[in-house]
Structure 1
Amino acid sequence: MGAIKRTCSTILPDLNLKRRRLTRFQERQIRSVFRFLDLPGELKNIIYENCIDISAAQHILQRYYDSLRDCTDLRAVEAPLVWSKTPTILLINRQIHAEASFYLRNRSLTFDHGLLDLVDVTDFVSPNLFRTVTSITIDDSGHPLFQPNILAASWVGYTSLVQQLGDILSEGHQLKTFTLSLTNKDLIPHVTTCWNGHHVCGFRDSLLKACDALRAVRNVGLVTFRGLPEPLSSQLKARMESAPINFLDLPSEIRNAIYGEALDWSDINKQLARTIRLWSNKNLSPPFPALTTPTVLLLNRQISAEAQAVLHRKPLTLVFPRDHGMQKQDHVPNMLKFITPSTLLNVEHLVLELHSWEWIYSLDHFLPVFASPSTATTTAIASARPSTITPTRITAATLRHHNLLLHPHPTTTITTSAPPALKTIHIHFADTLKSEFLVGTTQQYPDETLHLSLSQLAKLRGLERVTFTGDLPACYTAPLTQIMRTSPAAAAVGAAALPKLRAVKASGEVVAVEDGEKVVVVG
């Protein structure tokens, strides 16, 4: 025994990689080893063909059937314990894997026993193998399909196999041929008499369900069906052999309809209502949602461009609820936390529904985004808002309701590089305190505070349509509408000729909106 060990040690060099230096003798022995990749290509191909065997599934099912064939109680036969395994030849290196895969792709998978009562074909055949081979054949030549003792297990095994193949191959394949052949004569009544009947037939219904799974498999070179009735056979064959329909192959009208269902602005209102509902402690920052991009805009450039065009044509409706629980001006959420300025620049139709007067401070955040370049300012006008209001301007009761006017508003900085796409705007403004402003003889509506926010609308130019509803007087909205519809070029030339915004007093008198002692001419 010792002599044998000594002989082996002289034949096989010690290739311990921990050694830092090799002796000359060991180096000569290593160099004398003939590498597999030095073989001629013809010899390597023979080795690849012998190393790659994908008939294991067939052998497993055949041995399992042999144990079931003469058994009257299937529960007495234990199912084989099997698992899928990658051929070792494919795990050596990239070159060998590439060369051997050519022979793997030319192999054919055959199932002539279905699955019997085995549950999942991927337990012993890898899904990647199904997607790699060029031919798959399913037939009933392995055993009598209507053998009494295993009829249920046999038929369910066939339909389960077809369904699983449909799911696997729908994700991609290399198939050149696919054959499904069920020729047992006892199946004929189920695909003829039962096929168009209205009664329940388990064979017909399960076969239809299996065929539905195959409808997702496309671009097969040649499909052959035997035993399936017409016109199912010809229709399914034509579908599987045809090229898959890409989403971009659909007519533009259908794509636009899909974009319209996939994209909407309504999530902004849901997130705003959710933020207000969850914001119980006003001393903390509002729980603003994380801004995300809809998946349809991330697929590719063409789909993103088409989907955005559909979205931008939809009106952006922002609903500001009446019940909000805000007590300070600083509590009014910044709307730019719900939608970015770059997105706002692409909005073509804007609808603002302010159901409470406190929301005027939200205009300070995002209205500057829509300002015409000739009138735009990068800093919101809120920075010029007075920190206190003269008590003689409003009654004590109104001042209590307007206690958030006593808090300075933060400055909002907006940087934009592209002109806004806004074409139309509709504003509904509801103010439950309007009547309190029209009590004293020195008061007017809208007051200075309301005007400071609404006057930012006058920086919007060139709109096609502007409408107002709610509590704002016509003497204020009519000139504001005219200003907003004026083209930027005309407004820049004749700024002095723009109409003045006016307010109404309790007596019905119409006066220019004042800021201290100076008459404000917006523009």
Structure 2
Amino acid sequence: MSFTKCCSPEFDVDFGSSLTPSNPITDPVDVPFRFRDLPKELRFMIYEYALSFDSIDKYCGDYLELLCVTSNAKEPAPDVEKACPSILLVSKDIIEEALPILYKTPLNMSFGIFKAHLQDLIAPELLRKLRYINFSDAGTRHLNTPPHDCFGGICYAVTELATILRAGHSLKSFTMDYTSAYLSFHLRDCLNDGQKQCGIKSWAHNLIRALKELHSIDKVSLTVEFSEEVKQEIISCMKRPARGFFRLPLQVRQKIYGYAADVNDGASTFQLATKQLALVSTTTRLSTANIKLTHISNQDPTFKETTTPTIFLVNRQIEQEANEVIYSKPFVIKNLYPMVNSTFLKLDDFFSPYTFKKIQHLELHLTDHNHLTMLPTIANMLRRRRKNNVLKSLHLHFSEPRSKRLILAVGEYYPDNTVYACMRHLNYLRGVVGRVTITGSMPACFTAPIIHNMGLKDLSEQAMPIKVQNVVGHEVDVHVAQGTAFYRKQRGVLVEPADVMEID
């Protein structure tokens, strides 16, 4: 047997020295407690104790006691403030461990919730994650005559629960146990008697309807004084999968999309806003002696904000199917009221750029000189469309009797500078519109080149020059006419207001 001396300094131990720590811990309170150092089983027991829904049932019980001792039968439910359990605010690791236990914790409602709302007591997002929900009258059985509010509260709670879980849930078990002898007669006899008028009967019908809206629940238990046939029908509905929207035929879904949203709703709102602006700008007061005009300026019309139709927010497949139906309808802007004081509304307040990217057919009816200011904005929106998503058709209609408002002298040319300045934005569009139609009072020497130029693929191709015309039919290039003294820079309305519509 041989001994080897260790020369390494870390193994050079002085056996004569004391083994007592240099900083001994004298008080156990000073020892740091680490929650994560506990065994997982103990941590799970703490989660089960800390994460409980007993406070919700206690709230309902306290409210029931309040109704029993007060003379006011319409006593409102006490205010409640929802709060996240503090243990879920510690760290992400604890959240990952505790949330599955929270979702498996049963939600027991044994009193009904009366005039309070279920979503005021527990967040709808949490309700959709719960696995077990139990409704009963266990908390009211000590009362000799349970108030109707107990059963009514449970009916309202189940109805609200069905509404919340309609979008999806994780429920595995649902139990309802209501065995009050006071209500047995009503639930057993009144429910099947069509001649009797009973408030509890109405509640029971609402309860049955709400239970049938819950689907895909593995375990369902109903201990309620319904007939066996009614209970089996309810349980069968609650266990089977929900009938999906996509099981409907495509033709039926397309009709639903057509009723759910209309691309012309914004155009109707736009037309009403122009009417309101015209009425606000010029108020006509009639009297027996004379007609007095009062001009009121700088007053904006009121209209609803632009919102996305909810049919587009359900899921991606519905959005794609709805796009094909809704945006295939012709988008028509017409019957706009004449503007006063050169004021016009912004298209951004009524139509989103997405609308002009998706529509397939666009039709504009212009009856006022200020309406022309829409064209540059529309041209900029159409320019953002991709080459594989061209606008199938564009129809512009100008209602303008030349004999009344346009040419006052032989030397004046038509269209004037205002029309050309707005139309030139459309003239430079290339490869965006499949078919262009311009009707109304515009001469062919002005519209034909624009139609031809918009049909070109890009700006590198040869464009046709735009010409204007005077009253005797003499045609001049628009750039030449702009240098003459007889080319109007600005004028009034395109048509007489009386020729278009009457403002009532």
TM-score range, shorter-chain basis? 0.5 to 0.7
What one-letter code is carried by the residue in structure 2 that aligns with 1:38? D
Aligned to 2:396: 427
Question: In 2, Cα distance between the equivalents of 1:286 and 1:119?
Answer: 43
Q: Determine the C-alpha separation between the residues in 1 that align with 2:158 and 2:218.
A: 18
Q: Give the match for residue 409 of structure 1.
A: none
Question: 2-side partners of 1:87 and 1:121: how far apart?
Answer: 20
Q: Structure 1 residues 27, 198: closer, same or farther in 2, change over 3 A?
A: same
1:471 matched to 2:469? The reply is no
Question: What SS does structure 2 have at the residue aligned with 1:313?
Answer: coil
Deviation digits for residues 244-282 of structure 1 (CA, Å, limit 9, x no counterpart): 567677665555545543352442563476374578999
Letter in structure 2 aligned against 1:195: N
Preserved CA contact (<8 Å) 2:410 2:470 = no
Residue 502 of structure 1, CA deviation = 7.2
Using the alignment, how far apart are the partners of 1:195 and 1:157 within structure 2? 22
CA–CA distance in 2 between the matches of 1:363 and 1:82? 55
Q: 2:334 aligns with which of 319, 323, 332?
A: 319
Q: What amino acid maps onto 1:359 in structure 2?
A: H
Q: Residues 63 and 481 from structure 1, CA distance in 2 versus in 1: closer, same or farther, beyond 3 angstroms?
A: closer
Corresponding position of 2:263: 264
Q: 1:505 is matched by which residue type in structure 2?
A: V
Instruction: Say whether 1:512 aligns with 2:498.
Output: no
More off after superposition, 290-299 vs 342-351: 290-299
Partners of 1:91 and 1:451 in 2: CA distance: 65
Per-residue displacement from partner, 1:152-205 (whole Å, max 9, x unpaired)? 344334434434544565576543211224456763564455436154222221
8 Å Cα contact 1:57/1:124 also seen in 2: no
C-alpha displacement of 1:88:
7.5
The one-letter amino acid of 1:134's match is: R
- After TM superposition, the score normalised by the length of structure 2 is 0.62
- The 3 A distance-change label for structure 1 pair 322 and 32 is closer
2:400 alignment partner, SS class: coil
Given that residues 448 and 513 in structure 1 are in contact (C-alpha distance below 8 angstroms), is that contact kept between their aligned partners in structure 2? no
8 A contact 2:365–2:398 mirrored in 1: yes
1:115-154 superposed Cα distances (whole Å, 9 cap, x missing partner): 3x85448699755886665333334567669x87445344
Query: CA separation in 1, counterparts of 2:419 and 2:83?
Result: 75
Mapped contact 2:269–2:350 kept (Cα < 8 A): no
Whether the aligned pair in 1 keeps the contact of 2:469 and 2:476 (CA below 8 Å) is yes
Match of 1:224 among 198, 201, 221: 221
Question: Match of 1:204?
Answer: 201
Asked if structure 2 preserves the Cα contact closer than 8 Å seen for 1:192 and 1:229, the reply is no
How many pairs does the alignment contain? 438
Mapped pair 1:349 → 2:361: yes
**Letter of the 2:441 counterpart:** D
| CA gap 1:315/1:187 in 2 versus in 1, 3 angstroms | same
Are the counterparts in 2 of residues 219 and 244 from structure 1 also a CA contact under 8 Å? yes
SS in structure 2 of the partner of residue 423 of structure 1: strand
- How far is 1:429 from its partner? 1.4
What letter corresponds to residue 222 of structure 1 in structure 2? K
- Equivalences for 1:167-206 in 2 at 5 Å? 174-183=170-179, 187=184, 190-192=187-189, 194-195=191-192, 197-206=194-203
Q: In the TM superposition, what is the alpha-carbon distance from 1:209 to its structure 2 partner? A: 1.6
Higher mean C-alpha deviation, range 57-66 or range 203-212: 57-66
Q: How does 1:275-290 map to 2 (within 5 A)?
A: 276=277
Within-5 A mapping of 1:104-143: 104-111=102-109, 114-115=111-112, 119-120=115-116, 126=122, 134-139=131-136
Report if the CA contact (8 A) 1:218-1:240 is conserved. yes
In the TM superposition, what whole-angstrom CA distance separates every residue of 1:40-81 from its partner, at most 9, and x where no partner exists? 44455556666666567778888999999xx9x874999999
Identical positions, percent? 23
Say whether the 8 Å CA contact 1:317–1:350 is kept in structure 2: yes
- Check the 8 A contact 2:118/2:161 in 1, yes or no: no
Aligned-pair CA distance for 1:289:
9.2
- How far apart are the structure 2 equivalents of 1:177 and 1:142? 21
- Letter of the structure 2 residue corresponding to residue 228 of structure 1: F
Taking the TM superposition and a 5 Å limit, the aligned residue runs for 1:353-502 are: 353-367=365-379, 416=384, 418-419=386-387, 421-432=390-401, 434-435=403-404, 437=406, 440-442=409-411, 445-446=414-415, 450=419, 453-454=422-423, 465-472=435-442, 475-476=444-445, 479=448, 483=452, 488=457, 492=461
- Is residue 159–residue 211 contact of structure 2 (8 Å, CA) maintained in 1? yes
Shift of 1:355: 1.3
Q: What is the correspondence of 1:68-83 to structure 2 with a 5 Å cutoff?
A: 75=71
Q: Which amino acid aligns with 1:349?
A: H
Mark the CA change 1:465 to 1:232 in structure 2 (over 3 Å): closer, same or farther. farther
Unaligned runs of 5+ residues in structure 2 are 1-21, 283-294, 483-504
Cα 1:232–1:448, aligned 2, differ >3 Å: closer, same or farther? same
What is the distance in 1 between the residues matched to 2:196 and 2:257?
A: 41
**CA distances 1:415-465 after superposition (whole Å, capped 9, x unpaired):** 757347222222221225533556655456545764565566555677655
For the residues of structure 1 that align with 2:255 and 2:297, how far apart are their CA atoms?
A: 44
Shift of 1:354: 1.0
SS of residue paired to 2:216? coil
SS in 1 for 2:363: strand
Deviation (angstroms), 1:93:
5.7
In structure 2, the CA distance between the partners of 1:432 and 1:223, relative to structure 1 (3 Å rule), is same
What are the equivalent positions in structure 2 for 1:235-250 lying under 5 Å apart?
235-243=233-241
Change (3 A) 1:342 1:100: closer
The 3-state SS of whatever aligns with 1:431 is coil
Change (3 A) 1:352 1:230: farther
CA distance in 2, matches of 1:505, 1:85: 78
2:207 partner letter = A
Which deviates further from its counterpart, 456-465 or 190-199? 456-465
Residue in 2 that maps onto 1:384: none
Greater displacement, 339-348 / 221-230: 339-348
- Quick check: 348-357 or 415-424, which moved more? 415-424
- Cα distance, 1:366 vs structure 2: 3.6
TM-score normalised per structure 1:
0.60
Is the CA contact 1:457–1:480 (under 8 Å) kept in the aligned structure 2?
Answer: no
Report the residue type matching 1:270 in the other structure: T
The RMSD of aligned alpha carbons is 5.6
Amino acid paired to 1:294: T
